């Protein structure tokens, strides 16, 4: 007997443990591969599900309760995937940490999240010890990937994963969780201001996964083997550890090592069909292939994102590797996928960062927040609504949305007639001069194309007459010196005269943020004074 | 400011109006084509959304309130799609009726659903008038597809869609609906017992659509043009009017006409890449192509379902049409997709009815309801759990599920090592003889393969000694006469001796249900006496 008025369709909660359950039941022999120095480690989804489920029991035996956080400081490995599902399946929250951040940054995140357990991957034991010392909330350290306890010891005695499993592992029922409860936590890199925690729910991750699996999105199938070269601490590795078992695709995890030679060998050794990661990684692969005359004949597609990709690199990837490159745009706040170009994109065709799949709404607005009257072919401030988009940050109560429920990405973008999105800089980087806006990206694109220029950034500098004026910072290519007149001449006639920077500063090395992007915050601190 | 403890991700309701909104915004020029006798009717998603939204306003102007039912008695046409989205977008429930049922059957459904509006397609005006006379709940009839009011008149004065739109049409906000509210209603054909209403929610339809769109399911893309040869009154036309705008695929609607010649011409005229419908329809297409030496060069895939497809027909479709055939299994109660074979299936490969996509759980049980210890390679009673599976029927309060939350499909099935499902008859058709089960499907498969046999059905008949004994009803091929000894001999050694029917009845014409399947209920009534 059902309650009158209740839903006539089953109340089937959208929780992420179902992905691994599905993989275990329907594709139990499909493999998760972790690259090793000597040999790879392989496990099927059925066995991995068994281990992760027992690990849930071990975590719960520590006295953890639903909603409490388990932190991971680890590379892409089988053990990391096991901790992830063990935590989420049991109703705990998996908080992925970026090992490339500083102790102070990580300690702040751990303390804000009030993490009770820290799982630590290969080579990160020293860093973990520093974090244990700095974070009283941590109660247990679990060593993954064969990492050994340090001789020195510290406040806590770490336990190795296999010992932890054999001593405390026990099967527990998964998935008795409200779909709106938290599953994961990931802090934004925070090039401006303090890092902010994005807390993913089971529902948002589940729906994001279904977004990825669409034939016009990542189009993963049981016939695919997927190389995940994007870290699991980077917005859930773009959701691939969810998507792969949900369709029974093979999952290839490179661990820490993503140099060109290692990736080439891994791709060929494991029959990778789809490779996913930021453009930098694929430059390394291309350079290595060119250097040794190598090839990756089984590779069919590369999916990139994380930063926009120059057309020349796209063309090089497609011609050298014989693959289709799918571009994408996303953010930690979007779980992360916002737009993606389809696999059917013809080689050489313009694609920008692709179109949004169903479940992502985009809006271009003016500087005052009002929707542009024409949403095509005009640069606007990019706002998002969607089923996997942030409402408010972790621990906060202030909504991250505007009055109409839109999340302002902070990006500037343009959409073409086919609906393809192209990013056009960050709104905070806009320079207001004489009451009008200058978009530094347009200047940077022109100057950056000059052979003599390595990196270039344009920032605003207070000006008593105009409010702000643009200043250009240039890192010459190959350590050379650049003629300032030539730089300005390159802009003449291509941007308005008043957009041309008054001052040009040449630097030996451009400051970069942890993400590899130019650190404009630091540039402003150094050169942005009046 | 958000409520503490509320979801940190956006509360983005899963409602089906979003599909057409997405199509209108991102694929506004992608077309919905309705086949016409003289010329086709074409409209883009943007214009169709505008019309459907105004039609919502017209419906609401009749005094309809959220949750009330709008019935449709119509073929697959643009107008039918417009009524469908107009109703669902405004929070009304679209109740699709099968025009091939009798007045009495339809009147019972309309009365049970308490439909207030009836939208009527081409050639169905007479039937509608009879229903108006029989159903006092009906208050308004809307004529679609150019259908003209009858001269006779009736209790209600019908209004033509265009006049209704121009007189009462008005834009209304869509999608301010709880995702668990009702969107659609479809009665099962009810070969046994009274028809039962399956009430789809916005959420169940939304999640079903995402299931279809997966690359290993229907894999629809913006590059596709989809022929929907399965009626919209048949389990939402398998969800295609939702899925097509959600990815911007073209939608080709054949109206009432699905003969071989019409389909060939339509496929070629509109550049159809994916065609969807029951096997019978494609036999008509094949026969016509063979008769005229025709071809459908642009067609890439055919997706079948609704009944299991003989291997020989699969092979004929793949070789004659040069397409990939994707098999599937579904039920009205599952929205309808349960399993599907992937498009990557090699020609000639065994596929059964494919595997379940994520969101569908299957379980094989014994006759007492207990899970089979091994879920592979043994026939069992097929049960389902899932995000688009029925919990209870329309108007009922009794759960349709067992104590563990499983819906018993009433089907028998077997699952192979690769996870492919093959249907093996209906559990209610099982015959219990001497305390053991006989599965009539196994007998029918053997006898049905004999060239002399047109159609064959095996039913149980009460027997004082054995409880039940099998009786075989045969319709000879080409009106011939069949030697009973040969029929029995064909079974010898292929089934247990005690499975061989004691009695054989030859009939000129097998009784068929509205679905085209053999009507075993009628056979039992006629021949099933002791």
Residue written as tokens 């309060």?
A: B397
CB A371 within 8 A of CB A364: yes
* B399–A358 C-beta distance less than 8 A: no
Q: Which two tokens stand for residue A363?
A: 């809006």
User: Which tens digit of pLDDT belongs to each residue from A389-433?
Assistant: 999 999 888 999 999 999 999 999 999 999 999 999 889 889 999
User: What is the average pLDDT across B412-424?
Assistant: 94
Inter-chain CB proximity B344 and A401 less than 8 Å: no
B7: closest chain A residue by CA: A180
A180–B12 C-beta distance less than 8 A: no
Report the alpha-carbon distance of residue B200 to residue B335 in Å, rounded. 7
Q: What angle do CA B110, B111, B115 make, to 5 degrees?
A: 55
Question: Quick one: what percent of chain B has pLDDT higher than 70?
Answer: 97
- The HSE-up count of residue A496 (CA atoms within 13 Å, CB side) is 9
Mean pLDDT of chain B: 93
Q: A472: pLDDT confidence band, cut at 50, 70 and 90?
A: very high
**CA of A448: how far to CAs of A304, A356, A453, A456, B64, in Å?**
21, 29, 6, 6, 61
Specify which residues A361 forms β-bridges with. Answer: A385
Note whether B8 contacts A210, CB cutoff 8 Å.
no
pLDDT in tens, A11-22: 999 999 999 999
What are the C-alpha distances in Å from A317 to residues A267, A320, A348, A492, B374? 15, 5, 11, 33, 47
Q: Determine the average pLDDT of the residues in B189-195.
A: 65
The CA distance from A379 to A414, in Å, is: 5
Local confidence band at A307 (pLDDT 50, 70, 90 cut-offs):
confident
- B204, B344, B358 member nearest A18 (Cβ): B358
Q: Which residues of A form the catalytic set?
A: 188, 333, 432, 437
The Cα B334–Cα B222 span in angstroms is 26
For B355, the closest chain A residue by CA position comes to A26
Radius of gyration of chain B measured on its C-alpha atoms: 24
Three-state secondary structure of B240-283: HHHHHHHHCCEEEECECCCCHHHHHHHHHHHCCCEEECCHHHHH
Instruction: Test A2 with B180 for CB contact under 8 angstroms.
Output: no
Distance CA A304, CA A310 (A): 12
Tell me the percentage of chain A whose pLDDT exceeds 90.
Answer: 82
Angle at B470 between CA B464 and CA B476, to 5 degrees: 140
Please report, in angstroms and rounded to a whole number, the separation of the first and last CA atoms in chain A.
74
Q: Which residues of B are designated catalytic?
A: 188, 333, 432, 437
The predicted pLDDT at position B38 comes to 87
Range with top average pLDDT, A303-312, A336-345, A443-452, B192-201: A336-345
CA B291, B296, B297, B301 torsion-angle sign: negative
The residues pairing with A458 across neighbouring beta strands, listed in sequence order, are: A472
Selected for mutation to probe chain A from B215, B244, B390, B393 (highest A CB count within 10 Å) is B215
Q: Distance between CA atoms of A338 and A387, rounded to whole angstroms? A: 11
Amino acid A164: pLDDT? 98
**Residue from A138, A104, A101, A136 nearest A119 by CA:** A138
Instruction: Give the long-range contacts of residues B135-138, CB within 8 A, separation 24 or more.
Output: B135/B107, B135/B110, B135/B111, B137/B110, B137/B111, B138/B71, B138/B110
8 A C-beta contact, residue B289 and residue B264: yes
Q: What is the mean pLDDT of residues B392-420?
A: 94
Chain A residues close to B18, C-beta within 8 Å:
358-359
Residue with the larger pLDDT of the pair B176 and A294 = A294
Which residues of A fall within a CB distance of 8 Å from B393? 8
Among the partner-chain residues B204, B213, B342, the one whose CB lies closest to the CB of A9 is B204
What pLDDT is recorded for position B2? Answer: 54
Average pLDDT (A197-213) is 98
Contact A199 B9 (CB under 8 A): yes
Shortest CA distance from A339: residue in chain B: B26
Query: Whole-angstrom Cα distance, residue B214 to residue B340?
Result: 11
Report which secondary-structure segment, H or E, holds A59.
Answer: helix A45-60
Beta strands in A376-466 (DSSP E): 380-386, 407-415, 421-426, 431-433, 436-438, 453-463
CB contact under 8 A, B344 and A397: no
Q: Are the CB atoms for B507 and B475 separated by under 8 Å? A: yes
Say yes or no for a CB contact (<8 Å) between A12 and B344.
no
SS3 labels along A67-113: CCEEEEECCECHHHHHHHHHHHHCCCEEEEECCCCCHHHHHHHHHHH
Q: Which of A301-310, B196-205, B433-442, B449-458 is the most confident on average?
A: B196-205
The shortest CB-CB distance from B216 to any of A1, A222, A390 is to: A222
Residues in chain A closer than 8 A to B14 (CB atoms):
207, 387
List for chain B the helix, strand, coil content (%; round to 5). 30, 25, 45
Give residue A2's pLDDT. Answer: 54
Q: Closest to A390 (Cβ–Cβ): which among B8, B14, B210?
A: B8
> β-strand B360-365 against B380-386: which pairing, if any?
antiparallel
| The predicted structure's pLDDT at residue A3 | 59
**Omega before A426 cis (within 30°)?**
no
pLDDT digits (tens, 9 = 90+) for A216-271: 999 999 999 999 999 999 999 999 999 999 999 999 999 999 999 999 999 999 99
- Could you say which of B357, B358, B387 has the minimum Cβ distance to residue A10? B387
pLDDT of B397: 81
Mean pLDDT of chain A: 93
Handedness of CA B374, B379, B384, B388 (dihedral sign): positive
Secondary structure class of B94 (helix, strand, coil): strand
CA distance B48 to B50: 5
Please say if the pLDDT value at position A506 is more than 60. yes
């Amino acid at each position: 007997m059902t309650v009158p008025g209740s839903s006539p369709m089953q109340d089937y909660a959208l929780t992420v443990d179902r992905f691994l359950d599905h993989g275990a039941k329907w594709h139990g022999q499909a493999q998760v591969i972790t690259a090793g120095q000597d040999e790879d480690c392989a496990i099927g989804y059925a066995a991995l599900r068994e281990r992760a489920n027992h690990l849930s029991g071990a975590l719960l035996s520590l006295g953890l309760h639903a909603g409490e956080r388990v932190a991971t400081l680890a590379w892409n490995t089988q053990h990391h995937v096991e901790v992830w599902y063990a935590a989420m399946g049991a109703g705990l929250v998996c908080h992925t940490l970026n090992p490339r951040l500083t102790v102070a940054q990580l300690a702040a995140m751990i303390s804000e999240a009030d993490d009770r357990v820290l799982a630590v991957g290969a080579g990160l034991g020293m860093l973990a010890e520093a974090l244990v010392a700095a974070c009283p909330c941590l109660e247990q350290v679990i060593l993954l990937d064969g990492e050994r306890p340090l001789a020195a010891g510290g406040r806590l005695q770490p336990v190795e994963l296999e010992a932890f499993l054999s001593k405390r592992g026990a099967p527990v029922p998964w998935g008795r969780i409200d779909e709106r409860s938290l599953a994961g936590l990931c802090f934004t890199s925070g090039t401006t201001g303090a890092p902010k925690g994005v807390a993913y729910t089971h529902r948002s991750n589940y729906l994001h996964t279904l977004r990825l699996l669409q034939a016009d999105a990542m189009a993963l199938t049981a016939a695919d083997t997927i190389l995940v070269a994007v870290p699991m601490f980077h917005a859930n590795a773009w959701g691939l550890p969810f998507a792969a078992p949900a369709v029974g695709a093979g999952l290839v995890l490179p661990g820490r090592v993503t140099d060109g030679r290692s990736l080439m060998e891994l791709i060929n050794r494991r029959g990778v069909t789809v490779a996913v990661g930021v453009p930098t990684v694929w430059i390394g692969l291309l350079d290595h292939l060119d250097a040794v005359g190598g090839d990756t004949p089984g590779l069919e597609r590369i999916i990139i994102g994380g930063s926009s990709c120059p057309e020349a690199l796209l063309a090089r990837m497609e011609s050298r590797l014989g693959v289709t490159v799918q571009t994408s745009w996303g953010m930690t706040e979007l779980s992360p996928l916002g737009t993606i170009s389809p696999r059917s994109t013809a080689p050489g065709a313009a694609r920008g960062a692709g179109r949004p799949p169903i479940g992502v709404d985009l809006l271009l607005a003016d500087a005052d927040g009002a929707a542009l009257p024409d949403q095509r072919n005009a640069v606007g401030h990019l706002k998002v609504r969607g089923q996997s988009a942030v409402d408010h940050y972790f621990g906060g109560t202030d909504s991250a949305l505007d009055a109409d429920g839109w999340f302002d990405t902070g990006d500037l973008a343009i959409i073409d007639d086919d609906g393809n999105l192209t990013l056009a800089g960050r709104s905070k980087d806009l320079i207001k001069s004489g009451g009008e806006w200058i978009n530094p990206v347009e200047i940077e694109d022109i100057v950056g194309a000059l052979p003599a220029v390595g990196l270039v950034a344009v920032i605003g500098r207070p000006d008593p007459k105009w409010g702000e004026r643009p200043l250009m910072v240039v890192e010459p290519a190959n350590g050379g010196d650049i003629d300032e007149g030539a730089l300005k001449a390159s802009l003449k006639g291509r941007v308005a005269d008043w957009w041309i920077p008054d001052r040009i500063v040449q630097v030996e090395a451009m400051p970069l943020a942890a993400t590899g992007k130019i650190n404009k915050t630091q540039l402003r601190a150094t050169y942005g004074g009046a």
